Amino acid sequence: MAEAGSGPDILVVLNNFRAPAGVLGECILARQGYYLSVAPGIGYSAAAPDEHHDLPDSDAGFDGLVVLGGPQDAGDDEGNPYFRRLMEVVREFHAADKPVMGVCLGGQLVARAFGARVYDQGAFDFGFGAVNLTEEGRRDPLFRDLDAELVLMQSHQDVFDVPEGGTLLARDGAGGVQGFRLGRATYAFQFHPEVTADIVREWARRRSDQLKAGDAKAFRRLEAQIRRHMHDANQTCRRLGERWLDLIGVSG
């Protein structure tokens, strides 16, 4: 368990150390009573199964679950043998009515955990793009009072469908799924609510060849997007993180 303060203990699954908790981690730390950035695992419990850090045996002792992104193919169980156990963990938290948030790869695994299709859309999306709330999304506890169109960070090639019984919350400009809720408090997002400018720039550096192949001006355009959109995106995503934390301990 984390060295928690008076707040909730959240299990944060890092699918890759280059995809950290960022803004979501800061929200959790603040709820714990920590107001400075500190090492992962202080204020919440971090598991990094890709680095041979075991997932817990059960949801006991935890109040919520965040599953972050990573470069893996969400359907590659052979290359990522912990995926099957991770999807079991998602279902266990959901069955216990404990809030779940899956981000990008994490969202894809949440979708898979409940039988939805995850597939390659045929192109790599990287940069800030429109996230359009549905009518149900505008009524959702996490998105209420937010603009109907948000501009948030995207970094993915795989996408997912909404599982049976799920509620579509948001689509992108092309109509692809950007978020759903299943039950009271299980969420999956294709966009990245956790990123900071530094995280985005690091991802861009690591994908430099891929970005340059698509557009020689990709880096300049990305910097312009960061200047234009990052502040508002961070404000929006902090609200999402805080409202998600508010769901802890509230019965359905």
Closest CA to 248 of 156, 159, 186: 186
Residue, of 71 and 35, whose pLDDT is higher: 71
Active-site residue set: 104, 192, 194
**Reported CATH class of domain 10-246:** alpha beta
pLDDT of 2 strictly over 60: no
Q: Of the segments 9-23, 117-131, 175-189, 202-216, which one has the largest average pLDDT value? A: 175-189
Partner residues linked to 177 by β-bridges: 171
Residue 205 has a pLDDT of: 85
Answer yes or no: is pLDDT of 4 > 70.
no
45 falls in which pLDDT band (50, 70, 90)?
low
Q: Is the pLDDT of residue 245 over 60?
A: yes
Is the pLDDT at 140 greater than 80? The verdict is yes
The pLDDT-based confidence of 27 (bands split at 50, 70, 90) is very high
Q: How confident is the model at residue 31 (pLDDT cuts 50, 70, 90)?
A: confident
Instruction: Give per-residue pLDDT as tens, 93-137.
Output: 999 999 999 999 999 999 999 999 999 998 888 999 999 999 999
Supply the pLDDT for residue 66: 95
Confidence at residue 124, expressed as pLDDT on a 0 to 100 scale: 85
Helices 218-246 and 197-206 meet at what angle, rounded to 10?
130
What is the edge-to-edge ordering of all strands in the sheet holding 186-189? 45-47, 10-13, 64-67, 100-103, 186-189, 177-182, 167-172, 118-133, 149-160
Q: How many of the other CB atoms lie within 10 Å of CB of 84?
A: 12
42: pLDDT confidence band, cut at 50, 70 and 90?
very low
Average pLDDT, the chain: 88
